[in-house]
Each structure stands twice: as C-alpha cells, then as structure tokens.
C-alpha cells in the first residue's frame, strides 16, 4: 500500500510549487501593467518664436500663428497648434526650453522661428547656430518634422555679420535635412506701413500675409 501511494505524492510535490510559481509570475506581471493606457496626443504643431510670433502689440488672435491655427482647424480636423513663443526670446532661451516643451506636447511638427533677437543684440553667430541645432535635434529626437524659419539683419550690422547670419538657416536646414522658410518677413519687409511705430513689430493687417507665407512651407509637413 505504501508503494502504491508514492507516485501521487511525488506528483503533488512537483505540482504545488509549480502552481505557486505561475501565480506568482502572473501577479508580478499584472502588477507591472499600467493602471490605464494613456491616449496618444492629437497631431500637434509646436511653434517656437519671439515677439513676431506672439503678435506683439496686438490681440493674440490677430497674429499669424493664431491665424495658422484657424486654418489648420478648418483643413486638418483633429490637429492642434501650440504657440510656445515668447516676446524677446533668443535662441538660447528656446534651446533651454525645447526638451521640456517637446516632452510635454509630443509634437508632430516643430516650427522654429528664432534668432532675430540674437542678431539684433549682435550675439556670436556660433552661439546662435549651436542653440538652433540643439532645438532641431530635440525636435527630431521625438520624431517631429521641423520647419526652420529664417531671418535677416539690416545692413547696418555689417556686411559680413549680415551675410553669415542669413546663411545660418540654410546651412542648418541642409545639415539636419529640415524644411526651410528662408525669411519670415519676405512678403512685407520693404513695406514701412507693415510695421508698428517701433519699426520692428508688425501691424494686424499684414498677419494674414505671414500666415500664407509660412503655410506654403508648413502644409507639406502636415501630411
């Protein structure tokens, strides 16, 4: 009788620990799963700019970024535009904020329209290039497409500085293989009436022109 019961006993000795192991593993795996799967964000255009992109001196809704957001809402339902522009922003400020902003917004497209304040302050071009490169790299690092929007300086800053400043944008666009809009103010730069009394910031009437100008370079990135 003793030998007849030996096989079931051995089977139980192996089965009980095995069941406990499976239960333990299942419990650990189940505990590791997130309580709730976070939804993906909507497709997002994230804009980094300065006062030219914040509609300085105007109602924010009159600016080219807000007008672009309206067009995107009409033509690309489900997309959104986040304007992370700050008046007075330099490329250094943008570079300091870019990682946080792309992590928070998880953008599909990043528009970088910075550098004008660097030029107006005569900051070293090497520094501006490095800051813009950091911003492009951070955007591409999260899988976003980049539109780099260039600026130009008045000739009184000196021919060499003016030339090298303008060259910064196509050089970076080629290096990082980004879309490029060479000069934000191209449609209105020679029109004195396009500017407010400070001769730096733009009036409301020309903001739709900027929107249309940027749109030609931005729209292909929304596909």
- By annotation, the residues acting in catalysis are 51, 198, 201
d(CA 50, CA 161) in angstroms, rounded, equals 21
Neighbouring C-beta atoms of residue 96, cutoff 10 Å: 14
| DSSP for residue 169 | H
Among positive and negative, which fits the CA dihedral 62, 182, 147, 140?
A: negative
Q: Which residues of 159-176 are buried (b: 16+ CB within 10 A; e: fewer)?
A: eeebebbbebbeebbeee
Contacts within 8 Å (CB) and 24+ apart, 186-193: 186/213, 187/212, 187/213, 189/152
Neighbouring C-beta atoms of residue 87, cutoff 10 Å: 15
Lateral strand order in the sheet of 44-49: 80-83, 44-49, 109-113, 145-149, 179-181
Crossing angle of helices 125-141 and 91-105, in 10° steps, is 0
């Amino acid at each position: 009788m003793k030998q007849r019961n030996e096989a079931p006993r051995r089977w139980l000795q192996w089965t009980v620990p095995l069941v406990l192991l499976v239960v333990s593993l299942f419990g650990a795996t189940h505990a590791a799963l997130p309580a709730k799967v976070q939804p993906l964000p909507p497709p997002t255009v994230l804009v980094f700019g300065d006062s030219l992109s914040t509609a300085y001196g105007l109602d924010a809704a009159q600016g080219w970024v807000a007008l672009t957001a309206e067009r995107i809402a009409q033509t690309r339902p489900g997309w959104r535009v986040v304007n992370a522009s700050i008046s007075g922003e330099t490329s250094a400020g943008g570079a300091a904020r870019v990682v946080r902003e792309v992590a928070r917004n998880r953008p599909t497209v990043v528009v970088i329209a910075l550098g004008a304040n660097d030029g107006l302050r005569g900051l070293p071009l090497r520094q501006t290039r490095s800051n813009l490169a950091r911003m492009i790299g951070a955007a591409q690092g999260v899988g976003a497409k980049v539109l780099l929007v260039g600026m130009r300086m008045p000739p009184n800053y000196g021919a060499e500085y003016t030339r090298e400043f303008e060259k910064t944008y196509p050089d970076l666009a080629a290096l990082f293989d980004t879309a490029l809009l060479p000069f934000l103010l191209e449609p209105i730069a020679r029109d004195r009436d396009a500017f407010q009394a400070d001769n730096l910031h733009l009036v409301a009437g020309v903001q739709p022109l900027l929107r249309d100008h940027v749109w030609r370079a931005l729209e292909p990135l929304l596909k």
